[in-house]
C-alpha cells in the first residue's frame, strides 16, 4: 500500500469523523434543548387517562339523570326510549308505537287515511303503509290536499353514514321514498349527515366523507330517478350553496340551548358542534335551501319519510318554520326494522350477526337467518302443533312483513304459523328465498354505480319535475 493510499484513507476518515461528530453534537443538543423526558411523558399519559375517566364518569352520571322531552318518564322502566341516537324497547314485541304516537303528538295512519291516499294516487298503497310499518304521520293530509290542487311538493330523506355497508333496515326508508317519488313524480333531496357522524363518532372527517360516498352507492342502486334526485353530503354541500348555511343560521337564531337540551338531551359538557347540529338536519325541509332546484320558490311543501327516531329534529323544524315564513314539513314515520335476535335488541353495525348486510353472500344470509333469527315457535314440534307460533315476535315473519310483497301469501303464512301448521324452519326457509335475490340484485346494481354517476347525483343542478 502506498503512502498516498493511506493519505487518502486518513483524509476520508477525518471527513467522516468530522461529519459524524457534528451530527452527534446536533442530536445531543436537540435532546438537551427540548429535554423530553420519557418519565414526564408517561406521567402525562397517566394523568390524561385519569382525567378522561373522571370526565367520562361525570358525563355518564349527568346524562343518566338528564331527562329529555323524548322520554320524560324514562325512569319508570316500562317506557321505551326513542331518540335519534338510541332506541330501546321495554317489551320483546319491540317499541310500543301507539304509546309513541301519543308521546310525540303525531297522528296514526289509519284505514281512512290510507283509502284517501289510494284515491289520490289512483293505485294501491305501498305494502309498508298497508302493513302499518309506516304507521304515523304529520300533515300528510295537507300534502294530499296540495296534490289534489295540482301543486307540487318535494321529498326529503337522509342517512348518517357511520358504517361501510348498510343493512336491510337502512333500505326501508329509501325503498319507500323511491315508491313515493315514482307515485307522485316529485323531486327528492337526500342528505348525508357526514358532519353529524364526525361530531358524534370517534372518526376522522375524511373517513366520514368516505363512508358517505360508499353509502351513496347503495342509495343510487335503488334506482332513484337521476333527473329528479339530488344527493348531498353536508361537509361538501355547505361549501357549495350559501343558501343552505343562510337557512341554518336563521334556524339557529330561533332555537335556544334550553330547547335543544329539552329535545335532544344535550348537556353542558356537549360540544357546540352537537348543540348546533339539529339546524343542519332541519334546513333541507325548506325549499329555499336548494335554489338551483326551486328557484325563488321558498314555500314548496316538503314530505319527509323517516324512521320515527328522527322525529325530534322535525318537531324542532316545525316549531321554527312559521317564524321564518316557511311551511312546516310533513312527515311519514316508520317503525324500526328489528334485529335478528328480536325486536327488543338493537341492530349493531359493529356486530355483523345482528342483521343482514347488503354485502352478505347467499351463504351468509342463510347461516344468519337459520342461526340467529329469533323464533316465535314453541319449544317442541308437538307443543308448536298444539299452541301455534307467535308472529308478533317471530323475526322471520317480521322480516317477511317488510320484504314479501305478496299480501295473500303473507296472510297464509301468518294463519298457518299461528295455527301451528307451519314450523319456524319453514318461515326461515321462506325468508331466505325472499331476501337472497333482493340482496343479490342489489349487489349487481351497486356494481354498476360509477363515481361519475355519483358525481351526477351529487351535483347541485336543476331537476325535472
Contact (Cβ atoms closer than 8 angstroms) between residue 173 and residue 157 = yes
* Binding status of residue 40 toward a second copy by CB under 8 A: yes
- 3 versus 111: smaller Cβ distance to a second copy: 3
Q: Taking the complex as a whole, how short is the minimal distance between the CB of residue 313 and a second copy, in angstroms?
A: 13
* Binding status of residue 25 toward a second copy by CB under 8 A: no
Q: Taking the complex as a whole, how short is the minimal distance between the CB of residue 142 and a second copy, in angstroms?
A: 16
- 48 versus 91: smaller Cβ distance to a second copy: 48
From 7-15, 340-348, 381-389, 449-457, span contacting a second copy (CB under 8 A) = 7-15
Contact (Cβ atoms closer than 8 angstroms) between residue 228 and residue 270 = no
Q: Taking the complex as a whole, how short is the minimal distance between the CB of residue 293 and a second copy, in angstroms?
A: 15
Set of cell numbers at residue 365: 344470509
Choosing from 24, 29, 361, 381, the residue that interacts with a second copy (CB under 8 A) is 24
- 7 versus 227: smaller Cβ distance to a second copy: 7
Shortest CA distance to 346 belongs to which of 65, 82, 129? 82
For residue 253, the Cα-to-chain-centroid distance in whole angstroms is 27
* Binding status of residue 102 toward a second copy by CB under 8 A: no
Choosing from 272, 381, 415, 448, the residue that interacts with a second copy (CB under 8 A) is 272
**Given the C-alpha cell 296514526, which residue does it identify?**
108
Shortest CA distance to 106 belongs to which of 140, 154, 157, 145? 140
Footprint on residues 118-177 left by a second copy (CB under 8 A): none
Q: Taking the complex as a whole, how short is the minimal distance between the CB of residue 276 and a second copy, in angstroms?
A: 3
Contact (Cβ atoms closer than 8 angstroms) between residue 419 and residue 388 = yes
Footprint on residues 224-253 left by a second copy (CB under 8 A): 235-236, 238-246, 249-250, 252-253
* Binding status of residue 439 toward a second copy by CB under 8 A: no
Q: Taking the complex as a whole, how short is the minimal distance between the CB of residue 6 and a second copy, in angstroms?
A: 4
Classify residue 447 by burial, with Cβ atoms within 10 Å: 0-12, 13-18, 19+.
Answer: exposed
CB atoms within 10 A of CB 16: 10
Q: Taking the complex as a whole, how short is the minimal distance between the CB of residue 3 and a second copy, in angstroms?
A: 6
**CA 236, CA 410: separation in Å to the nearest integer?**
44
**CA 215, CA 238: separation in Å to the nearest integer?**
19
- 28 versus 419: smaller Cβ distance to a second copy: 28
Choosing from 166, 171, 255, 463, the residue that interacts with a second copy (CB under 8 A) is 255
Q: Taking the complex as a whole, how short is the minimal distance between the CB of residue 219 and a second copy, in angstroms?
A: 20
- 20 versus 102: smaller Cβ distance to a second copy: 20
Q: Taking the complex as a whole, how short is the minimal distance between the CB of residue 5 and a second copy, in angstroms?
A: 9
Footprint on residues 286-345 left by a second copy (CB under 8 A): none
Choosing from 14, 145, 351, 382, the residue that interacts with a second copy (CB under 8 A) is 14
* Binding status of residue 17 toward a second copy by CB under 8 A: yes
* Binding status of residue 6 toward a second copy by CB under 8 A: yes
* Binding status of residue 257 toward a second copy by CB under 8 A: yes
Q: Taking the complex as a whole, how short is the minimal distance between the CB of residue 166 and a second copy, in angstroms?
A: 23
From 4-12, 73-81, 327-335, 391-399, span contacting a second copy (CB under 8 A) = 4-12
Range 349-353, long-range pairs (CB < 8 A, 24+ positions):
349/162, 349/163, 349/167
* Binding status of residue 361 toward a second copy by CB under 8 A: no
* Binding status of residue 58 toward a second copy by CB under 8 A: yes
Q: Taking the complex as a whole, how short is the minimal distance between the CB of residue 299 and a second copy, in angstroms?
A: 17
* Binding status of residue 29 toward a second copy by CB under 8 A: no
- In DSSP terms, 305 is beta-bridged to 332
* Binding status of residue 34 toward a second copy by CB under 8 A: yes
Contact (Cβ atoms closer than 8 angstroms) between residue 136 and residue 108 = yes
Q: Taking the complex as a whole, how short is the minimal distance between the CB of residue 11 and a second copy, in angstroms?
A: 9
**CA 206, CA 194: separation in Å to the nearest integer?**
9
Footprint on residues 188-207 left by a second copy (CB under 8 A): 195, 198-199, 205
Query: Cα separations (Å) of 226 from 32, 178, 186, 189?
Result: 63, 12, 12, 11
Q: Could you please report the per-residue DSSP string of 54-121? A: HHHHHHHHHHHH---SS-TTGGGSSS-EEETTEEE-SSTT---HHHHHHHHT-EE--HHHHHHHHHHH
Query: Cα separations (Å) of 245 from 9, 84, 164, 237, 238?
Result: 71, 22, 28, 9, 6
How many residues touch a second copy (CB under 8 A)?
Answer: 72
What are the backbone angles phi and psi of residue 346, rounded to the nearest 5°?
-105, 140
Choosing from 100, 144, 220, 275, the residue that interacts with a second copy (CB under 8 A) is 275
Amino acid at each position: 500500500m502506498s503512502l498516498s493510499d493511506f493519505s487518502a484513507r486518513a483524509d476520508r476518515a477525518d471527513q467522516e469523523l468530522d461529519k459524524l461528530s457534528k451530527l452527534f453534537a446536533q442530536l445531543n443538543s436537540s435532546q438537551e434543548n427540548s429535554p423530553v423526558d420519557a418519565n414526564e411523558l408517561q406521567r402525562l399519559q397517566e394523568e390524561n387517562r385519569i382525567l378522561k375517566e373522571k370526565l367520562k364518569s361525570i358525563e355518564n352520571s349527568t346524562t343518566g339523570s338528564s331527562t329529555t322531552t323524548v322520554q320524560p318518564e324514562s325512569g319508570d322502566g316500562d317506557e321505551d326510549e326513542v331518540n335519534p341516537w338510541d332506541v330501546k324497547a321495554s317489551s320483546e314485541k319491540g317499541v310500543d308505537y301507539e304509546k309513541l304516537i301519543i308521546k310525540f303528538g303525531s297522528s296514526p295512519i289509519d284505514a281512512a287515511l290510507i283509502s284517501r291516499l289510494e284515491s289520490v294516487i289512483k293505485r294501491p298503497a305501498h305494502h309498508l303503509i298497508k302493513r302499518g310499518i309506516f304507521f304515523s304521520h304529520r300533515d300528510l293530509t295537507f300534502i294530499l290536499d296540495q296534490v289534489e290542487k295540482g301543486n307540487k311538493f318535494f321529498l326529503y330523506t337522509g342517512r348518517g353514514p357511520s358504517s361501510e355497508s348498510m343493512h336491510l333496515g337502512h333500505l326501508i326508508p329509501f325503498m319507500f321514498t323511491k315508491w313515493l317519488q315514482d307515485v307522485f313524480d316529485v323531486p327528492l333531496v337526500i342528505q348525508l349527515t357526514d358532519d353529524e357522524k364526525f361530531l358524534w363518532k370517534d372518526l376522522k372527517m375524511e373517513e366520514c366523507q368516505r363512508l358517505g360516498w360508499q353509502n351513496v352507492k347503495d342509495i343510487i342502486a335503488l334506482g332513484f330517478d337521476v333527473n329528479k334526485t339530488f344527493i348531498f353530503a353536508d361537509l361538501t354541500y355547505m361549501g357549495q350553496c350559501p343558501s343552505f348555511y343562510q337557512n341554518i343560521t336563521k334556524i339557529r337564531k330561533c332555537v335556544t340551548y334550553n330547547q335543544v337540551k329539552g329535545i335532544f338531551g344535550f348537556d353542558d359538557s356537549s360540544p357546540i358542534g352537537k348543540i348546533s347540529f339539529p339546524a343542519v338536519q332541519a334546513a333541507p325541509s325548506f325549499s329555499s335551501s336548494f335554489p338551483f332546484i326551486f328557484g325563488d320558490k321558498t314555500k314548496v311543501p316538503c314530505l319527509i319519510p323517516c324512521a320515527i327516531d328522527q322525529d325530534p329534529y322535525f318537531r324542532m323544524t316545525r316549531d321554527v318554520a312559521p317564524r321564518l315564513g316557511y311551511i312546516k314539513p310533513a312527515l311519514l314515520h316508520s317503525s324500526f326494522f328489528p334485529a335478528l335476535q328480536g325486536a327488543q335488541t338493537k341492530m349493531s353495525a359493529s356486530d355483523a350477526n345482528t342483521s343482514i348486510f347488503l354485502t352478505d353472500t347467499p351463504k351468509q344470509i342463510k347461516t344468519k337467518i337459520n342461526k340467529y333469527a329469533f323464533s316465535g315457535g314453541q319449544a317442541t314440534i308437538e307443543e308448536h302443533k298444539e299452541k301455534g307460533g307467535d308472529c308478533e315476535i317471530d323475526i322471520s315473519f317480521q322480516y317477511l312483513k317488510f320484504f314479501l310483497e305478496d299480501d295473500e301469501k303473507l296472510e297464509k303464512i301468518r294463519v298457518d304459523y299461528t295455527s301451528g301448521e307451519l314450523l319456524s324452519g319453514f318461515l326461515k326457509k321462506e325468508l331466505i328465498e325472499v331476501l337472497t335475490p333482493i340482496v343479490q340484485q342489489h349487489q349487481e346494481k351497486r356494481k354498476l354505480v360509477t363515481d361519475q354517476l355519483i358525481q351526477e347525483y351529487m351535483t347541485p343542478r336543476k331537476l325535472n319535475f
